[in-house]
């Protein structure tokens, strides 16, 4: 099984930056892909960025050019570097891991972008 723990959320000014981390433990060698989702108040959870075990990344159109997903295999950790943050980026961000047909989720970390 896979366990995921997120960190790095917080309050930031518009135009600022945050770096989210997601540490994976358990059956980490079975992970096909990892990603970040977010859920804003009153909205459905949406995919922000994903990365496969081979390093292929994809992004939501709303964050392209501003966010970067990366991984550190030695630390079993995936990161989301968020730059040029906007108020509309405010949401709870969730780490996700895909293992075959199964998905595993972290507990979520709050990101608030406000003046």
Q: What's residue 27's pLDDT?
A: 84
DSSP-assigned letter for residue 28: G
- Say if CB 5 and CB 57 are below 8 A apart: no
Cα separation, 105 vs 75, in Å, equals 18
CA gap 96, 74 in Å, rounded: 18
- Rounded percentage of the chain residues whose pLDDT exceeds 90: 83
DSSP letters for 55-106: --EEE-GGGTTTEEEEEEGGGTEEEEEE-S--GGG-EEEEEEEEETTEEEE-
Q: Which pLDDT tens digit goes with each residue over 76-108?
A: 899 999 999 999 999 999 999 998 899 999 999
Residue 29 scores a pLDDT above 80: no
Given a contact cutoff of 8 angstroms between Cβ atoms, the answer to whether 20 and 80 are in contact is: yes
């Amino acid at each position: 099984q896979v366990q995921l723990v997120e960190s790095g959320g917080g309050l930031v000014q518009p135009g600022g930056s945050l770096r989210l981390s997601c540490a994976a433990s358990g059956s980490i060698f079975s992970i096909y892909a990892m990603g970040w989702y977010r859920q804003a108040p009153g909205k459905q959870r949406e995919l922000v960025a994903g990365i496969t075990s081979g390093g292929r990344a994809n992004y939501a159109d709303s964050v392209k050019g501003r966010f970067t997903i990366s991984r550190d295999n030695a630390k079993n950790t995936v990161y989301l570097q968020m730059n040029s943050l906007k108020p509309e980026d405010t949401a709870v961000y969730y780490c996700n891991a895909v293992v075959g047909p199964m998905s595993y989720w972290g507990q979520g970390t709050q990101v608030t972008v406000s003046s």
